[in-house]
Structure 1
Amino acid sequence: MRRKILLGQLRRSVAKNIARVCLMLAILTTHPIQYQVPLWQAMAREGSVPFEVWYLSDHGTKDTLDEQFGKSFAWDLNMLEGYPYRFLKVNANSNVNRFFGLRLGEPLKDLFREKQITALWIQGWQVLAYWQAVWQAHAAGIPVWVRGESNDLEQTPLLQSAIRRLALRQLFKRIQHFLYIGTANRRLYESYGIEAEQLHAAPYCVDNDRFSLQAEQYRPRRTAIRRAWNIPDDAFCILFVGKFIHKKRPWDIIAAARQPILQNLGRPLHLLFVGSGELGNKLRSECRVVFDAEPSAKSPAQSQNGHGVLPAASFPGFLNQTDISKAYVAADCMVLSSDSGETWGLVVNEALASGLPCATSDACGSTEDLIAPIDPGLPFVLGNTEDMSRALNMLANQSRSATVWQESVARFDLGASVATIASLYKSTR
């Protein structure tokens, strides 16, 4: 009996010591992001990679002002559940949307040592804290991984581009592995001379299963949802989802709706703008608003814009994660009109996973991976509203089932990224 007790104590002691020296992947990111958290949760469920997420801010976990949405909100899913994490000390008055808005409040060397960090994984290079962490990891002999969104489609002034390339070359010298989210992202890394063996596919993804399931649950209520937003039963409904900001060019959708090819569909045309932001009143002034969840906004019903017929439009406002699928079910297609500032556009993943047809501009990072393979006619030229109307007319007359659209995004899933991360971690231990 005594021997069993001693053996039990020995096992617990060994397990405790192993846990103390367990090599670990540190994942550094700005704040809990609705697109990243499902990946951390999937990694925790898979279980082969010991890791901890290090957050620089708690933005989004409680009511916080989002400057681009123009309102305060918190995600309605638990962003801190199902995986290990901690919050690091940073500067006062931190801001996740500014390069200098997030700076490390203390060196990481003690935490590297305490957690026996075997690799540091950063989520881009858009805040100073990422650069500080890379230099500190490099000094400590810790390999660095990066998974950023930038691609070779971005248009920047010559001088700004030259300065950026000089800076990124210095950063990339200190990074060992590059996890690319798609084709254009990989090309960016290759343009800096990153070798093939340093490149690893980690497809940009959302929780496809959750969006598919939510769409399935809402689909029987499609008619009721449309009527709640004053969308006619027989209308062809075009959806925009996102912030009403300049890089997303939502006004192009209104201009496309006025093109003859869409005015002569043989059924009513309806625009559904889900989101909010600084361009909200401008968009409303260009439409015949039949539903508005933000009645405090300037009413555009009497607007005279000199562009002829005002397209009918509904503005349900910002929809959180558990409600956004209502829009994907209510609409007949979604369009992403953004410029090259849209380095990917994960709303496309969401829509496709929900079985909703999509058209996107040729400047969006996801276009050549998610939309062009379905039909090369669906991408349209950025800012060319006649070409956009042509692509939307294709969608109005297409006959693919929801399953076909869902299958088009199947390989951009959590499992593919988790497998890459597990394999890379194993090879670098």
Structure 2
Amino acid sequence: MAKTDKYRVGIIATHPIQYYAPWYRALANRPEVKLKVFYCHHQGPEDHARSEFGIPFAWDIPLFDGYEHVFLRNVARHPAVFGFFGCDTPDIMRIIYEKRFDAFITHGWRTKSNWQAIDACWRSGTPILVRGDSYLLARHIFLKQWMKYITHRWFIPKFDAYLVVGKRARDYYLYYGAQEKKMFFAPHTVDNDFFAAHKAAFQPERENIRNIWKIPKGSVVFLFAGKIVPKKRPHDFINAIKMTYNRCRQIFGLVVGDGYFRNSLERKVKKYNLPVVFTGFLNQSDMPKAYTAADVLVLPSDAVETWGLVVNEAMACALPAIVSNKAGCTSDLIISGETGEEFRCGDTRQLSGIMERFILDPEKRENMGKKAKELIDRYSIAASVDGALQAIKYVTGKRREEPFAGR
């Protein structure tokens, strides 16, 4: 590549995602990069309802501004973003052969479209970079685990570079034979500036926001935010609120989101007369209101939660977090006693005890929020794009100066 040329970079993505759009925009804004994103499926409001959100909606932030993109022809019999065959875009193979990208990025390998891109890169000699968030805590039956080991040991070492979103993803790649020298820290991130700025704007209205949601004055508010679905284990949150309420009447639960567990949760709250309110789904521009009203985030998810970007959002708003040890972000974002606390997934008694400690020590709670904000500033879009650019330079013949580094 001539010194005056830009790196021609392609990315394949299943569909527009609110967390990835700012990352694409920032990468495209780098003067040495010419980026084009190839989407496999145009997800409408009804698709969101079918994909666990529980209601139809459209994101209220720009998903396409600031970078070049195109929607591929999806020939899947039942087009969708879930399942291997929901995205089938054979045109990406021809595009990769014709465009001769300097580097091509795939978000994992879970759809047919991902594999069409990966295969085309291998056949055409196009450097292929992977940015996924799989990790080793998700266990399977022995035969499936053995077959996965054999197949993954075959294809994972064949990637030209790895955009590592966190420590557990790094361990995953290493386990399946990736070389550490090909790893570049490109952490999972949200638009920290967006959330911090909106939190600051809403802060003077904190009491009014709490009043709208009928939060009693003096309450310590624990926030559950996300799809109300099995992998998030929302019942653990409600059960922990119930246990803690017996000892600490200041506790209050704020549940933001929707999903097919919502009705059963509301019935339980009503049955036991618990101090919990359900806001329903909040779009991106309104989420900072929840972080303004809350004191602590709780993420009780199981191992299907490969990261938990809601923790990034909360920390950008200077909230500490209590996170299950099975959630993928725990190793990176939770420093016990500093940015939050970790608990054993499903252990509601331990979760309740941690909640009680947060209630009884407001000064420590506030200090932990400040430290959480300091930590998440290092998990920024700029840091993630820097890592991606280092990887792009690496696969195009340039070498970085420093090895992979996490937190």
For the criterion TM > 0.5, the same-fold answer is yes
- What residue in structure 2 maps to residue 422 of structure 1? 389
- What residue in structure 2 maps to residue 143 of structure 1? 127
For each residue in 1:363-412, what CA deviation from the matched residue of structure 2 results, as whole angstroms up to 9, or x when unmatched?
Answer: 11111211125549710111000100122223222423443321121111
- Do the aligned residues in 2 keep the contact of 1:370 with 1:408 (CA within 8 Å)? yes
Deviation, structure 1 residue 22: 5.9
Q: Percent identity?
A: 34
RMSD, aligned CA: 2.1
- What residue in structure 2 maps to residue 66 of structure 1? 49
2:253 aligned partner, one-letter code = L
- Do the aligned residues in 2 keep the contact of 1:22 with 1:116 (CA within 8 Å)? no
- What residue in structure 1 maps to residue 252 of structure 2? 270
Hey, what's the Cα distance between the residues in 1 that align with 2:337 and 2:130? Answer: 29
Alignment pair present for 1:96 and 2:81: yes
Q: Counterparts of 1:278-297 in structure 2 under 5 Å?
A: 278-288=260-270
Change over 3 Å in CA distance of 1:107–1:205 after alignment to 2: closer
Q: Counterparts of 1:365-404 in structure 2 under 5 Å?
A: 365-372=328-335, 374-375=337-338, 378-396=341-359, 397-399=361-363, 400-401=366-367, 402-404=369-371
Q: Counterparts of 1:9-408 in structure 2 under 5 Å?
A: 23-59=7-43, 64-67=47-50, 68-92=52-76, 93-106=78-91, 108-109=93-94, 111-259=95-243, 261-265=244-248, 267-288=249-270, 303=271, 309-372=272-335, 374-375=337-338, 378-396=341-359, 397-399=361-363, 400-401=366-367, 402-408=369-375
Hey, what's the Cα distance between the residues in 2 that align with 1:358 and 1:107? Answer: 41
Return 98-107 or 71-80, whichever deviates more: 98-107
1:81 aligned partner, one-letter code = D
Change over 3 Å in CA distance of 1:46–1:395 after alignment to 2: farther
For each residue in 1:300-355, what CA deviation from the matched residue of structure 2 results, as whole angstroms up to 9, or x when unmatched?
Answer: xxx4xxxxx43121111000000011111111111000001011100000000011
Unpaired runs of at least 5, structure 1: 1-17, 289-302, 304-308
- Do the aligned residues in 2 keep the contact of 1:124 with 1:130 (CA within 8 Å)? yes
Change over 3 Å in CA distance of 1:165–1:132 after alignment to 2: farther
Hey, what's the Cα distance between the residues in 1 that align with 2:53 and 2:340? Answer: 32
Deviation, structure 1 residue 84: 1.1
- What residue in structure 2 maps to residue 306 of structure 1? none
- What residue in structure 1 maps to residue 403 of structure 2? none
- Do the aligned residues in 2 keep the contact of 1:63 with 1:74 (CA within 8 Å)? no
For each residue in 1:209-236, what CA deviation from the matched residue of structure 2 results, as whole angstroms up to 9, or x when unmatched?
Answer: 1100010011111111111111112212
1:383 aligned partner, one-letter code = G
Q: TM-score, normalised by structure 2?
A: 0.90
Hey, what's the Cα distance between the residues in 1 that align with 2:313 and 2:74? Answer: 32
For each residue in 1:132-152, what CA deviation from the matched residue of structure 2 results, as whole angstroms up to 9, or x when unmatched?
Answer: 211111011111100101111
Q: The residue matched to 2:104 in structure 1 has which SS?
A: strand
Hey, what's the Cα distance between the residues in 2 that align with 1:23 and 1:414? Answer: 19
Q: Which has the larger radius of gyration?
A: 1
2:132 aligned partner, one-letter code = G
Unpaired runs of at least 5, structure 2: 397-407
- Do the aligned residues in 1 keep the contact of 2:96 with 2:120 (CA within 8 Å)? no
Change over 3 Å in CA distance of 1:404–1:375 after alignment to 2: closer
- What residue in structure 2 maps to residue 413 of structure 1? 380
Change over 3 Å in CA distance of 1:373–1:113 after alignment to 2: same
Count of paired positions: 389
